Amino acid sequence: MFLKDLLGASRGGEVGRFGRVIEASQKRGVEPPGIYYLFAGRPEATPHLCNFMQEVMRGPSDLSPGQRELIASFVSARNDCEF
Q: Which of 23, 51, 49, 22 is nearest to 34 (CA)?
A: 22
- Arithmetic mean of pLDDT, 18-24: 88
Q: Which of 22, 51, 15 is nearest to 36 (CA)?
A: 22
pLDDT at 65: 94
Predicted confidence band of residue 19 (pLDDT cuts 50, 70, 90): confident
pLDDT at 75: 92
- Record the pTM: 0.62
Return the SS3 of 73.
Answer: helix
* Residue range 25-79, pLDDT digits in tens: 999 999 888 888 888 888 888 899 989 999 999 999 999 999 999 999 999 889 8
How far is residue 19 CA from its own chain's centroid? 12
Q: Name residue 78's amino acid.
A: R
The alpha carbon dihedral of 80, 63, 67, 32 has a sign of positive
